[in-house]
Structure 1
Amino acid sequence: MNIGIVGLGLIGGSMAKSIKFRTAHTVWGVDLDGETMTLSRLSGAIDGALTRENIPACDLLLVAIRPAAAVGWVREHAPLFSKSMILVDLCGVKRNVCAQLAPIAKTYGFAYIGGHPMAGRERGGFVHSSEELFTGASMILTPDQNTDMRMLETLKAFFTDIGFAGLTFSTPEEHDRIIAYTSQLAHLVSSAYIKSPEAQRRRGFSAGSFRDMTRVAHLDEAMWTELFLDDADYLTEQLEILIDYLNEYRAALTARDAEKLQALLKDGREKKATAGGN
């Protein structure tokens, strides 16, 4: 296949590297940053630049940039897309993006499905991308009434070929509701947690817990602001739930209520066991 990738940061760059490392597909990529384009060529992550001339030859197009930019790029370039092409956006929110891209796909006759790879690192950019980023990860897809089985079979073969363990199907609504908790809230909490004055005085007193709690505070604030605001309703709901639980812990501590505090901690431990994860 001829595969186009828009955005060669952590996700797009890792897609390019994974494709070239594991398959014989041709990869064309584009990024606004000139240094990224140079590095991607020199490293062999892309075979060449994605241009207006070769966009019509793409069988699959992966858009790995921020939501508003993704919609704008697709809207501008959609007249160039082949009707046999499959478009997958890789944005971290789905309702807003899918609602705008699906009508464009219908107008121009190409296939579209929303996607979100469940993989990442706290540091972005092409220099931190890796052909191993998606190994064993889940790829979320949001099919709609226009999605056919042949397209899903093509995408399943493609994504598993480049390292994903499998596909998870969702609606844009469900995706955004769950991701508000599993990803966005964690980034928000980490960002708030690191603001304690003790963070600057903790040297010699921190180990794994501090590292785990603060890892994702090293984020791209412009990108995460856009993601948070696109999912503000669900994220606010999750934040309010967390604050309510934190207030329970604070009340138990203020009252020196050992029985209540132990019950809260026990409940958290048991819920972790049933929720699973590392």
Structure 2
Amino acid sequence: MNIGIVGLGLIGGSLAKAYKKAGATVLGSDQNNLTTEFAKMAEAIDGELDEAHFSKCDVIFIAITPAGAIKWMEQNAPRLSKETIIIDCCGTKRNVCKAGYELARQYGITYLGGHPMAGKEKGGFKHSSADLFDDAPFILVPDDHNDLNLMCKVKKILQMAGFGRISFSTAEEHDKVIAFTSQMPHIVSNGFIKSKTAILHNKNMVSAGSYKDFTRVAYLDEKMWTELFIENRDNLGAELAGLIAELQKYQQALADNDPEELIRLLKEGKKCKSEVEKLCDLNSLEAKQEKLSKATASS
């Protein structure tokens, strides 16, 4: 299996290390030549991915920003083989998938939108790891022309890197959900840590686990996340407006010295959390059953 990777940051670097660990031949490139050289020295890649090697790759992962991914595909689509599967790993899907599938139809290339659901609070190749994707979900965003055989082939390729549940979504649904599950927590965490009390906390070293959990993702790549936030500003703006409205209810209950209303709000939130957890447990059980079924079938 020959794997190509464009972008050797946290995601691309981890893909490189995971596929190398699985025994694949990995070629990679990064806009920073020093990163590419460092990846070679770390034996995360076997060589540099360039135009001469495109046709030798079974799959090329594009692990850069949406704008960068679109630009790369526009520049290289005429030189890509239909036999090479192109999968972008961008955090928003509408713009990149629209451009990717238009280029696929124009040049006859094989493209799939994708999103590996894994990460760390700190990016860059130095924080990448071969086990980042172990049992992690991967979302594929196919169009109407992607066939079942391609989906099955891609699923096997992804499982080589350790991915667990492979799910499918439209670009619109993906961006709506990701605004809530990923983007809003990053913005809220980043805003929360700006409290003047944060300095007092650091001075007196008084905190619980909830503080560390809540502020972990405040440490982010501001340029990368700004592009993702702006691309998804309609969905993210709606989620933030909903959250602000809910927070104002808590604020008002405190201002009114109204314990009954505060109890109602807290109970309501706890109930919502319980309902969501039940759905998550059900999905987790289905994923485990699917994994067990595959293991049984292959034995």
User: In structure 2, what residue type is equivalent to 1:185?
Assistant: M
Aligned partners of 1:136, 1:27: CA distance in 2, in Å?
21
Q: Counterparts of 1:61-210 in structure 2 under 5 Å?
A: 61-203=60-202, 204-210=205-211
Q: Deviations over 1:149-181 (max 9, x none)?
A: 111111111111211112110000000000000
1:56 Cα deviation (Å)? 2.2
1:207 Cα deviation (Å)? 2.1
Segments of structure 1 that go 5 or more residues without pairing to the other structure are none
**SS at structure 1 position matched to 2:77:** helix
* Equivalent in the alignment of 1:213: 214
Q: Deviations over 1:15-74 (max 9, x none)?
A: 00000112x221110001222112211121111000111112222110000010110011
Residue range with higher mean Cα deviation, 183-192 or 203-212: 203-212
Q: Deviations over 1:188-212 (max 9, x none)?
A: 1011101111111102211211111
- Contact 1:58–1:82 (CA under 8 A) maintained in structure 2: no
Aligned partners of 2:107, 2:83: CA distance in 1, in Å?
11
Aligned partners of 1:100, 1:142: CA distance in 2, in Å?
13
Aligned partners of 2:61, 2:162: CA distance in 1, in Å?
16
1:186 Cα deviation (Å)? 0.4
Q: Deviations over 1:235-273 (max 9, x none)?
A: 000000000100100010000100110111111112111
Residue range with higher mean Cα deviation, 237-246 or 208-217: 208-217
**SS at structure 2 position matched to 1:202:** helix
* Equivalent in the alignment of 1:18: 18
* Equivalent in the alignment of 2:286: none
**SS at structure 1 position matched to 2:4:** strand
1:146 Cα deviation (Å)? 1.2
* Equivalent in the alignment of 2:56: 57
1:79 Cα deviation (Å)? 1.4
* Equivalent in the alignment of 2:287: none
* Equivalent in the alignment of 1:249: 250
* Larger helix share, 1 or 2: 2
* Equivalent in the alignment of 1:29: 28
- Contact 2:101–2:143 (CA under 8 A) maintained in structure 1: no
**SS at structure 2 position matched to 1:234:** helix
- Contact 1:98–1:114 (CA under 8 A) maintained in structure 2: yes
* Equivalent in the alignment of 1:265: 266
- Contact 2:121–2:219 (CA under 8 A) maintained in structure 1: yes
Query: Where does structure 1 differ by over 3 angstroms across 4 or more consecutive aligned residues?
Result: none
Aligned partners of 2:59, 2:81: CA distance in 1, in Å?
10
- Contact 2:20–2:26 (CA under 8 A) maintained in structure 1: yes
* Equivalent in the alignment of 2:285: none
Q: Deviations over 1:198-229 (max 9, x none)?
A: 11110221121111111111000000000001
* Equivalent in the alignment of 1:4: 4
Aligned partners of 1:147, 1:56: CA distance in 2, in Å?
20
Pairs aligned (count): 277
User: In structure 2, what residue type is equivalent to 1:13?
Assistant: G
- Measured on the aligned residues, the alpha-carbon RMSD in Å equals 1.1
- Calculate the TM-score normalised by the size of structure 1: 0.97
* Equivalent in the alignment of 2:37: 38
* Equivalent in the alignment of 2:288: none
* Equivalent in the alignment of 1:237: 238
Residue range with higher mean Cα deviation, 60-69 or 31-40: 31-40
- Contact 1:16–1:46 (CA under 8 A) maintained in structure 2: yes
Q: Deviations over 1:114-153 (max 9, x none)?
A: 0000100000000000111111110000111110111111
Q: Deviations over 1:49-104 (max 9, x none)?
A: 00111112222110000010110011111111112111100000000110111111
Aligned partners of 1:251, 1:74: CA distance in 2, in Å?
51
